[in-house]
Amino acid sequence: MNPDLERLIELQRTDAEIQRLQAEIAALPRRVAEIEAKLADARAVVEKAKAAVKTNEAGRRKLEGEIQAQQQKISKYRDQSLEVKTNEQYKALLQEINFAEGEIRSCEDKILELMLDSETQEKAIRGAEAELKARTAEVEKEQAQARARTAEDEQQLAQWTAKRQALRAGIGDPALSHYDRVLKLRHTALAEVREQQCTACHVLLRPQKYVEVCANQQVLTCDSCGRILYYAAAEVPAAASRPPAAQEEKEAETPAAQ
């Protein structure tokens, strides 16, 4: 095979692997953000549950303060009832006392509801914290795997980059310039020929050019897409690739059909 063509084939494989590794490394920040988002969601559930408990506690304190205020009113009204001189004044004070006692009962009922709700919220916090703990362990594991994969990718990228530089140094300028130009335009610079067609653009090659491409002795390009063409000899069936003399000897050794 033509040395430049052989190196160009390997260069395209190398460039493809470099692009893959670069894309994988570039995707890491997004992957890490997705991992951290899982943890943020779990933390948000815990914080929401804790906030609900604090709101519950604040509500109970407010109701307890309201009960104390109503108890003070009742005490004041009872003291005043000892000093009233008319039945109307006494009845009015009794009414105020009854109303205050009703407010106390209402506050006590609400406190009981909040206490029951608090038990549910405390249970929710324990569940959310257990989920957060499990999610944290999972996230830390995923982050470690992502960092390890990135380190491995960066190491491989350095190796492939060194290989790319060595390959480019061994390719003639005309062929390398054409490779770079087509790669920039079409993202792939070489195309294999199969069944007399360029596998990239599927245009049929002229018979003479097909023969020349199959020889792999020149750097030839597709008249349609401009890609450098090559023929993978390994794809040729064994019988078809055997020299004619060897094929005749093989047939001579085969017994004639009875």
Give pLDDT tens digits for 170-189. Answer: 999 999 999 999 999 999 99
pLDDT band, residue 152 (cuts 50/70/90): very high
1-43 tens-digit pLDDT: 999 999 999 999 999 999 999 999 988 888 888 888 888 888 8
230-251 tens-digit pLDDT: 998 644 333 333 333 334 444 4
Domain ranges within the chain, ordered by starting residue: 3-169, 173-241
> Which pTM does this prediction carry?
0.59
**φ, ψ for residue 230 (rounded to 5)?**
-150, 160
Higher pLDDT, residue 10 or 52: 10
pLDDT band, residue 68 (cuts 50/70/90): very high
Q: Is the pLDDT of residue 165 over 50?
A: yes
Higher pLDDT, residue 132 or 224: 224
The pLDDT, as a whole number, for residue 237 is: 35
Q: Work out the average pLDDT over 186-200.
A: 95
Residue 18, token pair as written in the block: 């470099």
Indicate the CATH number for domain 3-169: 1.10.287.1490
Cα 191 vs. chain centroid, distance in angstroms? 33
Rounded to whole angstroms, the Cα distance separating 178 from 164 reads 16
82-134 tens-digit pLDDT: 888 889 988 998 999 999 999 999 999 999 999 998 888 888 888 888 888 88
Q: Are 215 and 223 in contact (CB under 8 A)?
A: no
pLDDT band, residue 256 (cuts 50/70/90): very low
